[in-house]
Amino acid sequence: MKISKIIDFRCRPPMAAQKLIFDLKLGRLKWENKFVCKPAMATSPSMFKVGEDEGLELLLKEMDEASVDLIVVPGRNIANPPKAVLQMTNTDKINVTDEMLLNLNKRFQGRAIGLHGIDVERPVEHSVKAIESAIRDQGLAGAVLEIGFSTTENGRPLKADDPRLYPIYETMVSLGKPLMSMSGIYAGHDIGANDWPPLDRVMQDFPQLKLVLAHGGYPRVLDAIALAVKHPNFYLSPDIYCFFPGGKLYVEAIGQLPDQFIFASAYPFGPLKESVELSLQFPLSDEVMEKYMFGNAARLLGL
């Protein structure tokens, strides 16, 4: 199947600040008990050049080889990753700043669009100002919220419907830009971070919020799909998890919710070439595939 354009909505280039993600990816390949899953077990040359100029050049080449026109790069502020991640890396922090994202966009000649990484550990007033500056003044395309690593004042896991986060949602609605929310098996200190009733309540309170659930809400796949059925501004980007156990449910749902699914490789979790090739084999009509691989993301990004 031939697609006119492709947007990869979650791609973490091999910058030094992303080392933890690459250590995690490559560390999984060394497990004695193999996880048989394409493209999760596939690699590409750029993955072995983290923090080197050659790594970025190789990724650009891999974009061309996979016919990927544009990548969306999430900013991040994570100071306390889960133990499952730390066991396979020597790094204990991910900090991808707005400046890094802007420099990357220049390096990639406009083919790498950044999303501001919200720091939820700081006062919400700071977060709101940072979001407004990143989007209005610096031209970033949206923001990323990762609450699975944070707690409330009494030490309980922070949930999406915590009142302290509501000014962030209000800001994203007023700006009309997409908010990416993190999910998946590494989205918090345990998989309980994938708790979607609070997010349901957020979408009821902010029906105009354009929210993209990165990693598609895995492993709570049906709950995540149900939220997309319930809320027309709720988008799923299941990326690598389409190929995980139970991921076929995403593929079945794309045809029924053709305007609310968005393609991503989750690179380095999946190489671009294999991710694109395997996704183009999904049993979807040409019209639905075009929306999944490009159209829905382009609409969200205002392209």
Peptide bond into 74 cis (omega under 30): no
The answer to whether residue 61 sits within a structural domain is: yes
Whole domain around residue 101: which residue ranges?
7-301
Give the model's pLDDT for residue 170: 98
Q: Is residue 2 part of a domain?
A: no
Per-residue confidence (pLDDT) for residue 128, from 0 to 100? 96
Task: Confirm whether 127 is domain-assigned.
Answer: yes
Number of domains in the chain: 1
- The confidence score (pLDDT) of residue 153 equals 75
| Single pTM value for the model | 0.93
Residue 71 domain-assigned (yes or no): yes
User: Is residue 59 in a domain?
Assistant: yes
The answer as to whether 35 is a domain residue is: yes
Low-confidence ranges of the chain (pLDDT < 70): 1, 78-93
Could you read off the pLDDT of 219-236 as tens digits, one per residue?
Answer: 999 999 999 999 999 999
CATH number of residue 194's parent domain:
3.20.20.140
- Domain presence at residue 210: yes
291: DSSP letter = I
Has residue 266 been placed in a domain? Answer: yes
